[in-house]
Amino acid sequence: MSVDSMKQFITQGDFDYIFDAPMCDYTTLKIGGKADILVQPRSIEELTLIISKAKENNIDTFFIGNGSNLLVRDKGIRGIVIKFGANFAKTTVEGEIITAQSGISLSKLACICADNGLSGFEFAAGIPGSLGGGIVMNAGAYKGELKDVVFSVTALTESGEIKTFNEDELDFSYRHSCFSHTNMLVLEAKLRLEKGNKAEIKAKIAELAQKRRTTQPLEYPSAGSAFKRPMDGFAAAMIDSCGLKGCTVGGAQISQKHAGFLINYQNATANDVTKLLHHVQEVVFSKYGTMLEPEIITIGEE
């Protein structure tokens, strides 16, 4: 089955899809060429059917959430992009336990926590990602991480089995989980929170939002922190000390407000971003002997 045949299969089904989808519309960096097919599944059954058809016919599949740590190359993506978003964001609250599908945004989930008087998720309100992607990389901010609240995750394994992972199996560490560097797909998670005062929870979220506005370049498209924290320091401090704030390649720039952020300053291409990431790595390595590891994941055709 060619991509054209797969498009015909998608058209004949009851799927939420876009052909030749501009990936710049699906990443927070606002960069990227077109994907042959983008599908947003509404159920596990739809998801497994699409994956099965693609696998049977040797068509590549790529999985994204909110695209908040993603760089899509300029020539786009050949194959199928499966996006977990609003179609896959069902949430239920039972006492202090929230069960949520992977497509819900972390900011939306934080609002649900606050509305139900549940504390412990305030740190995630400003993280521009989805729950699924956040779990894969153990996203965190302001001294909080998803590992602090997530205790059970249901995922689709590489063999097509739906499996639930308990707290001991999740292998959370800094920007890492048992799903990192695998083809497993996070479908749903359970979070354990604490009862709190609604007004205080919302005030904390507002306080952290103001702190973000003050310290981070939210006025520009970005992928959040460009590099992971190295063992021997902080990436932003190292980049700043090398005089790289404001360093620009094409339309990509190291933010002058926060050295840890690489921003789409002016119609940047994926190539601009890649070159700037490499330049920063080289300069920091020459001074500190530390090779910074990008937090941004790159996919697509060169």
- Residues forming the active site: 175, 225, 295
Query: Are 141 and 126 contacting, i.e. CB atoms less than 8 angstroms apart?
Result: yes
Tell the residue number behind the tokens 């929870």, with chain if given: 201
Query: Are 190 and 97 contacting, i.e. CB atoms less than 8 angstroms apart?
Result: yes
Distance CA 57, CA 300 (A): 19
Distance CA 189, CA 147 (A): 11
β-strand partners of 188? 101, 154
* Amino acid identity, position 86: A
Query: Are 72 and 270 contacting, i.e. CB atoms less than 8 angstroms apart?
Result: yes
